[in-house]
Every structure is written in structure tokens, then in C-alpha cells.
């Protein structure tokens, strides 16, 4: 903003009458002075001067209902605004200081204190791009000092030469230059009507380009980014759905192979059914292990598809909401931002409900001591569930909180490793030997002896395992046990 225009606008306001300031607020980049309504001067209620510091220092005349004014006021800081208001409220503009060759404007403001004393202060505005600032200095016994933006000297600057903008101003107005500097020439700004009306129209145009347009561009960028994110999310869900649907196809061969496990147990490579169908088994996997693996994959696929149905419903809701926001933007309206859900509340506005098993993790027997996932692995062997601990504290939890007294307990001898528990819900007195050997192989594999040869594994009833006071996590004492030697095998 040229110095000559800045000075002319201030003098035009003073020429219309010594206006009174009835409100003020300050933000990091602007200071607003709300003028008291003055019918003779053409100042309606709600008009305010806005001293903008960045992105470019300018003096605007806005109404408090204008969108740009409200956006700038939303940035105001309560403490700074309260201090500026305390010093400016009730003051009247009595003098305008400045030179058309310097981007500096001084407004002398006076008011009558409660004691009857006249208080005077000067509001100085340095409108140099990159060095814009405001300061309020007392001119009487009350040396008020409030600053905003870049710091600059309190004295009126002395012009050294005629800058090009001032020379262009003189060339443009010629003999009317003095009248233009006094704010008596409306042609200072484009438009129609008096200079006050033109100043308001020019301010609205500058605010639209400086404040509103960048904000609307930011909204457009956010909408485009949100559309791309939801499209990527939709493609990812489609890929997961295809993968889970493909995994469901393993159910047929798993059921067919499980029906003939009585004669194909232990088979590897390929298994031929009674009807002549040949089923290729994974390399190094026996028939019963393949059945378990395929059924596990089917269960995971079923859970995944159920979860995908919920996620796809939420995705459709977000896409519909985004489409409404895009429609509002195309119609020229400002789309309202999506409200963030409060803690404990879902996006739909309903309180979130956690599964009962997740309400209190400390009540979950399968929870790890550090709160991360389950405390054990679970596999099926010969129709029995085998649980394998994951750490010292988790081993204690598995042995003393999960295992039943008649469950089978296994651990590799004299070597750190996982506790292994074979569930025995039917309370069978003697579990099958192949089951015990397989569980022992797992106990050897999930230990520090997995890279050795045959290792010794102790096994007993869970009721025979105890933990004396003072034993570290994972260390237990066996009342009685048996042992066998196996190779570690996953």
C-alpha cells in the first residue's frame, strides 16, 4: 500500500469527523479499531479499520459481518486484545501525522479520563512489506507502550528523497495532489461514490484476494486430498476382500481331507481321496497339519469379511459426506468441516461400546503382561488345543491363570523356553502318546535349544507345577514329572 494512499485515507476519515473508537482487538497479524456509528460522517454501526501486517501491510475498512473480518477476528488473542482495548476504547481521532514519501502513519488519539485529565497517545503504523508493525506510545504522563509486528523507532521518520510511488502519484493528480493527499479526491481508489464507499469496496476486494481466496484454495486442496485418500482406502478394502474370498475356497478341500484323515494321517506331498481326487499338500506339511492350516485360514477369512463389511459401510458414509461437501463448494458455499468425535464417541454420534472382553484388560486371562496382544499361541494337535507361552511373565500367566489342574504342562529341561499347556477339558487320565510327543516338539522348538539335536522335555500335570515365593518370572518348581527326548519341530 503506497504511503500517499495510506495518508489520504486517514485524513479523509479525520475530515469526516473526529471519530470515536468503541472497540478493538489484536491478532498476530492484524489490529482492528471499531468505530462508533456517526451518521454525519457516513460511519454505520459495525465499521472498523483493520491494520493488516501480513501478507502485505494495508489499511482496510470492513464491517464486522464481513467474512474476512470474522476470520481475522477468530485469530485474535484475548490477552493482547484486552490490553489494546483498555488503552484505545473511548479515544477520539484528533490528528493524522505522516509524510506521503514514507510508509508511516501516526494517529493521535485523545480521551478524557475519569479524573478529567486529557490522555493522549499516538498509534503508529509502519507499512513497509516485511517490516510491518504497530506501536502505541503515550504522549502525556502515561507512557503506554504496546507493540505488534516488527519493532520500529517511535519518532516520525524523516524522508530523504522522493520515491517512485510518490512521483507517480504527483504525475497522476498534478495540481490536485494536495487535495488528494487531504482525502478530498474520490478517484484515489476505483469505483463509484465518495472515498469512504470506495475504500470499503476496495477493502472487500483486497480481503477476498488476500484472505478468502487462499483459504478457499486450501479447502479445495483438502477436498481433493480427502477424495484421493478415500479412493486409496476403497482399493485397499477391495484387495482385502478378494484375498479373503480366495481363502474361503480352501474350505472345500479342508473338509474333504478332514473326512478321510482316519486313513491319510501322516501323509505328505499329495493325498488321494477315495473318489480319486488328488489334493496337493504344502511342502513339508502332513495331512492333519494342512487341514488345521486351511481351516484356520477359512476362519480368519470369515472374520476378515465380517470386519470388511463394517469398514465398507463406514467408507460409504464418508464418501457421501465428502460428496455433500463438494456439492456445497461447487455452489459457492463454504463446506463445514467434519466435526471431530469426542473421546468415547463414534463418528455417528453414538457412544462407542467396547466388547465385554475388552472392557478391563486386567480381567483377561489371555492378555499379555505388557498389554500387547495375547499371552500365548494356540494350535490344534490331534484335536486338542495346545497353548504356547510367549515370555517369562506370560508363561506364569499361562501356567497359573489359564491352565486347569488336569491340563498337561511341558517345558524343555534345563533350558529357557516357553511353557506349553495341552488343554484337557474332558479330564482324560492318559493323553495319547503322539499328542504328548508333538507338544514336546513344540516346547523344544520354542526354546533356546531349537538349534540343537534331541533335547529332553519334562511334562506333568499343571497341578504339579508351583512357584515358590521369590522365584523370578518364568521359573517354577515341579513336584513330579516325566521326560522324553524329541527333536525341536515347529
Q: What is the mean pLDDT of residues 247-266?
A: 86
Residue 464 in contact with residue 478, Cβ under 8 Å?
yes
What pLDDT score was predicted for residue 147? 78
Grid cell 511342502 is found at 283
Among 169-183, 288-302, 344-358, the least confident range: 344-358
Asked if the model's pLDDT at residue 41 lies above 80, the reply is no
Q: What is the pLDDT of residues 311-331, one digit of tens each?
A: 999 999 999 998 988 888 887
Q: What is the mean pLDDT of residues 215-232?
A: 89
End-to-end alpha-carbon separation of the chain, Å? Answer: 78
pLDDT band at 130 (very low <50, low <70, confident <90, very high): confident
Going edge to edge, which strands form the sheet with 92-98? 92-98, 104-112, 118-126, 133-138, 145-149
Q: Which cell goes with 251?
A: 474350505
Asked if the model's pLDDT at residue 4 lies above 70, the reply is yes
DSSP code string of 374-418: BSEEEEEETTEEEEEE-SHHHHHHIIIIIS-TTSEEEEETTS-B-
Length of the chain equals 490
% of the chain exceeding 90 in pLDDT: 30
Phi, psi of 135 (to 5 degrees): -150, 145
H-run or E-run covering 27: strand 21-27
Query: What gap in Å lies between CA 81 and CA 103, rounded to an integer?
Result: 25
Q: What is the mean pLDDT of residues 226-235?
A: 91
Residue 59 in contact with residue 10, Cβ under 8 Å?
yes
Among 74-78, 225-229, 265-269, the least confident range: 265-269
Asked if the model's pLDDT at residue 18 lies above 80, the reply is no
What pLDDT score was predicted for residue 350? 44
The pTM (predicted TM-score) of the whole model is 0.56
What pLDDT score was predicted for residue 334? 63
Residue 83 in contact with residue 104, Cβ under 8 Å?
no
% of the chain exceeding 70 in pLDDT: 90
Q: What is the pLDDT of residues 158-199, one digit of tens each?
A: 887 888 988 998 898 889 889 888 888 888 888 888 888 899
Nearest Cα residue to 371 out of 381, 380, 362: 362
Dihedral (CA of 444, 448, 454, 458) sign:
negative
Asked if the model's pLDDT at residue 361 lies above 70, the reply is no
Query: What gap in Å lies between CA 219 and CA 223, rounded to an integer?
Result: 6
CATH architecture of 3-188: Roll (2.30)
Asked if the model's pLDDT at residue 114 lies above 50, the reply is yes
- Which sequence spans correspond to the domains of the chain? 3-188, 227-330, 361-486
Query: What gap in Å lies between CA 195 and CA 184, rounded to an integer?
Result: 8
Amino acid at each position: 500500500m503506497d504511503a500517499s494512499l495510506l495518508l489520504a485515507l486517514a485524513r479523509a476519515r479525520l475530515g469526516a469527523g473526529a471519530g470515536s473508537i468503541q472497540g478493538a482487538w489484536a491478532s498476530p497479524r492484524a489490529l482492528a479499531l471499531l468505530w462508533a456509528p456517526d451518521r454525519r460522517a457516513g460511519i454505520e454501526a459495525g465499521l472498523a479499520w483493520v491494520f493488516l501486517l501480513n501478507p502485505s501491510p494495508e489499511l482496510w475498512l470492513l464491517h464486522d459481518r464481513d467474512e474476512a473480518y470474522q476470520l481475522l477476528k477468530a485469530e485474535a488473542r484475548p490477552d493482547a486484545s484486552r490490553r489494546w482495548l483498555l488503552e484505545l476504547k473511548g479515544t477520539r481521532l484528533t490528528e493524522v501525522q505522516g509524510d506521503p514519501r514514507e510508509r508511516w502513519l501516526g494517529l493521535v488519539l485523545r480521551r478524557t479520563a475519569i479524573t478529567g485529565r486529557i490522555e493522549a497517545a499516538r498509534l503508529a503504523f509502519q507499512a513497509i512489506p516485511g517490516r510491518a508493525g504497530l506501536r502505541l506510545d503515550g504522549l502525556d504522563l502515561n507512557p503506554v507502550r504496546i507493540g505488534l509486528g516488527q519493532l520500529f523507532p517511535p519518532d516520525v521518520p524523516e524522508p530523504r528523497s522522493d520515491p517512485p510511488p510518490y512521483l507517480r502519484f504527483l504525475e497522476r493528480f498534478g495540481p490536485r495532489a494536495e487535495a488528494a493527499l487531504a482525502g478530498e479526491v474520490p478517484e484515489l481508489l476505483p469505483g463509484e461514490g465518495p472515498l469512504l464507499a470506495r475504500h470499503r469496496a476496495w477493502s472487500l476486494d483486497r480481503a477476498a484476494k488476500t484472505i478468502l481466496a487462499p483459504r478457499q484454495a486450501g479447502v479445495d486442496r483438502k477436498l481433493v486430498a480427502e477424495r484421493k485418500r478415500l479412493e486409496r482406502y476403497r482399493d485397499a478394502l477391495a484387495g482385502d476382500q478378494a484375498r479373503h474370498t480366495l481363502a474361503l475356497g480352501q474350505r472345500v478341500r479342508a473338509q474333504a481331507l478332514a473326512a478321510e484323515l482316519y486313513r491319510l494321517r501322516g501323509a505328505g506331498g499329495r493325498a488321494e481321496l477315495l473318489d480319486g481326487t488328488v489334493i496337493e499338500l504344502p511342502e513339508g506339511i502332513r495331512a492333519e497339519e494342512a487341514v488345521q492350516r486351511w481351516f484356520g485360514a477359512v476362519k480368519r477369512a470369515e472374520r476378515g469379511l465380517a470386519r470388511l463389511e463394517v469398514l465398507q459401510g463406514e467408507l460409504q458414509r464418508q464418501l457421501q459426506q465428502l460428496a455433500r461437501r463438494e456439492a456445497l463448494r461447487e455452489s459457492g458455499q463454504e463446506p463445514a468441516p467434519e466435526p471431530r468425535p469426542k473421546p468415547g464417541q463414534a463418528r455417528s454420534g453414538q457412544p462407542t461400546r467396547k466388547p465385554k472382553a475388552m472392557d478391563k484388560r486386567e480381567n483377561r486371562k489371555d492378555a499379555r503382561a505388557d498389554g500387547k496382544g495375547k499371552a500365548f499361541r494356540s494350535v490344534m494337535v490331534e484335536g486338542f488345543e495346545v497353548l504356547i507361552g510367549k515370555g517369562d511373565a506370560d508363561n506364569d500367566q499361562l501356567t497359573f491363570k489359564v491352565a486347569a489342574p488336569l491340563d498337561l504342562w511341558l517345558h524343555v529341561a534345563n533350558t529357557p523356553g516357553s511353557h506349553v499347556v495341552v488343554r484337557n477339558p474332558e479330564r482324560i487320565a492318559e493323553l495319547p502318546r503322539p499328542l504328548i510327543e508333538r507338544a514336546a516338539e513344540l516346547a523344544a522348538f520354542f526354546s533356546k535349544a531349537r538349534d540343537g539335536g534331541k533335547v529332553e522335555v519334562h511334562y506333568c500335570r499343571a497341578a504339579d507345577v508351583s512357584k515358590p515365593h521369590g522365584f523370578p518370572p518364568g521359573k517354577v518348581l515341579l513336584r513330579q514329572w516325566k521326560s522324553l527326548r524329541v527333536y525341536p519341530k515347529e
